[in-house]
Amino acid sequence: MNEKGVTTYSLREKCGIDSKTVRRLKANENIETKTLNKLCAALDCRLEDIAEYSKD
């Protein structure tokens, strides 16, 4: 987000990601795949740039 100049405000207001989801993102909690899609669109990036798979 810092590299792209995207704030949490713009995620909420311009990208349609609600404040609860922003809180979950900051806490590194689970989010829905549709949110990942919105993030990739907002940040103009690929999924691999913002997410990493790890076994539980």
> The whole model's pTM is what?
0.74
Total structural domains in the chain?
1
pLDDT tens figures, 35-48: 999 889 888 999 99
Q: What is the structure's pLDDT at 45?
A: 92
Amino acid code (one letter) for 55: K
Q: For residue 37, is it within any domain?
A: yes
- Range(s) of the domain holding residue 42: 8-46
pLDDT tens figures, 7-44: 888 888 888 888 899 899 889 899 999 999 988 988 89
| Three-state SS at 29 | coil
Q: For residue 53, is it within any domain?
A: no
